[in-house]
Amino acid sequence: MSTAMFDLAASSGDVLNVIGAFVGGLVIAGALIWAFWFGMRVSDRELPRPAPGEQPHLPEGGAVHETREVREPDEVPHAQDGERMMPYELHHAGTRTGKDQHRRRWMPGSSGSFGSGGLGQR
């Protein structure tokens, strides 16, 4: 009789595992369906996409190109009474246009950086 009870307990455990897996699958499927439904409701409330005629166009003169300029560094102001300055107390650095607008270039035979390493010679 003890083997019959063991078989019954084993089979009931298997049934509970199958039922638990089925219920878990239903919960996951329900969550996915709800998420899809919720996403559709949100997208229905959004503004419609612009028509092709409402899209932005290039200006009459063509594409706008960037301009490059060399800026001069500003001195970092010193705090009064030797206290630490907060970022909101600083102004924007590099706000003045430099007198020399030529870009610094790499020179063959140098270290490849602007004064940061090596002898710069072969």
pLDDT digits (tens, 9 = 90+) for 75-115: 777 777 777 877 777 766 556 777 777 777 766 666 555 55
Per-residue pLDDT at 30 exceeds 90: yes
Secondary structure in 3-state letters for 42-76: HHHHCCCCCCHHHCCCCCCCCCCCCCCCCEECCCC
Domain boundaries, the chain: 2-44
Give me the pLDDT at residue 12, please: 73
CA dist 103 and 105 (Å) reads 6
Residues 6+ apart with CB under 8 A from 83: none
Structure tokens at 9: 């307990």
Q: Residue 103 burial (CB < 10 Å; 0-12/13-18/19+)? A: exposed
Give strand pairing partners of 97: 71
Q: Is the dihedral of CA 10, 12, 14, 20 positive or negative?
A: negative
pLDDT digits (tens, 9 = 90+) for 41-63: 999 999 988 898 898 888 888 88
Give me the pLDDT at residue 78, please: 73
Do 70 and 82 contact (CB within 8 A), yes or no? no
Angle at 101 between CA 97 and CA 102, to 5 degrees: 155
Higher pLDDT, 117 or 36: 36
Per-residue pLDDT at 14 exceeds 60: yes
